[in-house]
Amino acid sequence: MRLAFAAAAIVGALSASASTNPAPLSLDQAVQCMFDVLKSTPGVTEAKVGQSNEDGRTYPYVEFHAEQGWVQNFRFAPSDLFDKSQNAFTFLAGVSGLQDDASPPDNHVSTAVLDKWEAQCRVGSIFLST
């Protein structure tokens, strides 16, 4: 009886631990999660997943257009930055700074996307304006 109770307590503790600290996603799972977020976020168009071959290696990317004043699409690819303490990938996008008009863009769509990626997909994301 004691053994059964101890086993149940351990299983319960492991279940609670697993629910508060989920297992890390693989790169493919992270990209799919990011794409799913794009498909469900208002103001996002032209969402797609692809593969790029650069420097002799193939890697996935996630691309989208945010209806907020930017001319070009955002393309996020995995960076060599990997936060091993959080088991999360970091994705990076370079943006040229081209905008539809002279006023600064409203980043509410891309900010919402990046926030959802962090919360739901457990990935970091950075975009740099050049």
Q: Which two tokens stand for residue 59?
A: 């890697």
Contact 96, 130 (CB under 8 A): yes
Whether residue 77 lies inside any domain: the answer is yes
- Structural contact between residues 120 and 56, judged by C-beta atoms closer than 8 angstroms: no
Number of domains in the chain: 1
| Residue 34 banded pLDDT, cuts 50, 70, 90 | very high
- Residue 125, in any domain of the structure: yes
What's the rounded mean pLDDT across residues 33-51?
A: 95
Asked if residue 6 has pLDDT above 50, the reply is: no
Cβ-based burial of 102 (10 A; exposed 0-12, middle 13-18, buried ≥19): exposed
Using a cut of 0.75, tell me whether the model's pTM lies above it: no
Q: Please, how many CA atoms are within 13 Å of residue 2, restricted to the half-sphere of its CB?
A: 0
Domain that holds residue 70: 24-129
In a domain? residue 13: no
What is the reported pLDDT for 38?
96
84 within domain boundaries: yes
Residue 8 forms part of a structural domain = no
What is the amino acid identity at position 85? S
Give residue-wise pLDDT tens across range 71-94. Answer: 788 899 988 765 655 657 888 887
DSSP H helical ranges for the chain: 2-20, 27-40, 108-116
What is the pLDDT averaged over residues 1-16?
Answer: 36
Taking only the tens place, the pLDDT of each residue in 14-23 is: 333 334 445 5
